[in-house]
Amino acid sequence: MSLGWGFVGNGGIAGTMAAALERSAGGRLVAVAARDAARGQAFADAHGGARVHSGPGAVARMLADPQVEAVYVATVHPQHHTAARAALLAGKPVLVEKPMTVSLAATRDLVDTARAQDVFLMEAYWTGLLPGTAAMLAVIASGAIGEVQAVRADLGFAVPADAQRFHDPALGGGSLLDLGPYPLGLALTLLGRPHELRAVGSLTATGVDRQVALSLGYADGAVASLATSMVGSSRSGAWVEGTRGSIEIDAPIFDMHRFTVRTTDGVENVQEHTVERGHHLMLDHVHECLARGRTESPVVGLQFSLDLAEQLEQVVEQIGITRAVEPLGATGPTTEGRR
């Protein structure tokens, strides 16, 4: 059976996901909610001719469509909460782009709503569903590099000055919200929730972050050193250090396409796990979860999203990043932070 998907948003990542959906046997695009009718129609025409709902009330009209059986939220970050919550209250399973929201309170609200409604909710951390990630976790579980003691990861590139999405708080600008879920997600996957997080960074004239550097400490003595940037091109790879060896993850870390295992006894093993446009594997996972009647992913679970949101919140507060926060129960985002 093919699941009917409704997309909220028709930007770049929505296009990537629509193409991925065409590769997934378990679903099809049936509707799109868009602000602009012409752009929404162009998007639908490019991806199988889905029905287009545009203008005020577009999301509500799409959710009322009985053929929409699941919802993917691909708006700018500050608008995730409103659309995802409406879908959950309508009883529709939801896959929402990362970060799930721009505040810990809003993420908690979505998780609480999903649990109260007994409806599936997952953050679109597609890296967690890649075969390269599974292979890396298998290497670590085998004991090949011993106990993991440190994770070092960065992700950054120079963003043009006129790239509004990256500079405007109302659009979820800054390197942290856009890139941070990848290095933070890797550390969270390997080391769990930190007991200490320290952040430094610099801000743009609009108050969003140019770049951030994070130091995390864990109860067992492990540490993580993470960074994101939209002003400089970083290595964009990662290094996992263990008591008996290490794993070097090639750039870009979100692809997890290649890593090298080196052990203290001189063994070196390179693993290739290249997957073209791996987002379809995430959709396959969601389809499987729904077929099994699950309301939560066993891989990218709701606690993962809560822990990630908590760490993002700490960074925002420590550096004073300006963000457009959607107060719970309000009709639209408001801006908070240093200006």
Contact 334, 324 (CB under 8 A): yes
- Euclidean distance between the first and the last CA atom of the chain, given in angstroms as a whole number: 51
Active-site residue identified among 53, 92, 98, 285: 98
CA pseudo-torsion sign 276, 277, 282, 285? negative
- Pairing relation of β-strands 148-156 and 223-229? parallel
CA nearest to 89, candidates 103, 109, 107: 109
Beta bridge partners, 324, equal 335
Annotated catalytic residue 98: yes
Q: How far is CA 67 from CA 55, 61, 92, in A?
A: 20, 12, 11
**Three-class SS string for 7-25?**
EECCCHHHHHHHHHHHHCC
CA nearest to 89, candidates 67, 59, 50: 59
Name the residues annotated as catalytic. Answer: 98
